[in-house]
């Protein structure tokens, strides 16, 4: 009987613990909120572009770039990738990066600049990783083109 009570208590406790934990996995739309919606994404992209301009490893790639357009297209793209209410109106990743001779090291440098910008904006690390995981598959369309 005593064992039954202990068992019942243990099951009850497990149920309580389980119920108090966030059960549903975060959805794509949650990521948009975690990035701070449009104002947050705009600040992240601005921070990333400033970091890039100060990064001697990759700044030279952007010498002839229309930064206002790049800023606008990056905001749209990150909005879409995080589940936000946007449409991406820019060129494909292959078209916009072909002929730029972007290496794997360049790609990693840009990811570092983006991560630093998210850190400054206080984006939680799991949300940072979720955005990076959404962008990672684009790598093959961007490097060595």
Provide the annotated binding site.
97
What is the Cα–Cα distance from 26 to 91, expressed in whole angstroms? 29
Tell me the torsion sign for CA atoms 122, 125, 126, 127: positive
**Bind-site residues for heme:** 97
Choices 12-20, 24-32, 38-46, 92-100; region in contact with ligand HEM by CB under 6 A: 92-100
Reduce the DSSP state of residue 34 to 3 states and report it.
helix
Q: Which of the stretches 28-36, 42-50, 59-67, 122-130 binds ligand HEM when contact is defined by CB under 6 A?
A: 59-67
Using CA atoms, how far apart are residues 99 and 108, in angstroms rounded to an integer?
18
CA-CA distance, 67 to 75, in Å (whole number)?
A: 12
Nearest distance, CB of residue 33 and ligand HEM, angstroms: 20
Q: Which of 26, 30, 73, 112 binds ligand HEM (CB under 6 A)?
A: 73
Whole-number minimum distance, CB 24 to ligand HEM, in Å?
28
Residue among 34 and 109 whose Cβ is closer to ligand HEM: 109
């Amino acid at each position: 009987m005593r064992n039954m009570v202990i068992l019942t208590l243990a099951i009850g406790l497990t149920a309580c613990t389980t119920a108090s934990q966030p059960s549903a996995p975060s959805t794509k739309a949650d990521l948009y909120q975690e990035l701070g919606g449009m104002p947050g994404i705009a600040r992240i992209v601005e921070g990333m572009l400033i970091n890039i301009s100060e990064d001697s490893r990759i700044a030279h790639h952007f010498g002839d770039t229309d930064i206002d357009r790049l800023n606008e297209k990056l905001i749209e793209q990150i909005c879409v990738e995080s589940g936000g209410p946007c449409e991406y109106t820019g060129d494909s990743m292959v078209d916009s990066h072909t002929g730029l001779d972007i290496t794997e090291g360049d790609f990693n440098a840009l990811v570092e600049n983006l991560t630093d910008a998210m850190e400054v904006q206080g984006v939680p690390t799991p949300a940072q990783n979720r955005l990076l995981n959404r962008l990672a598959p684009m790598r093959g369309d961007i490097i060595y083109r």
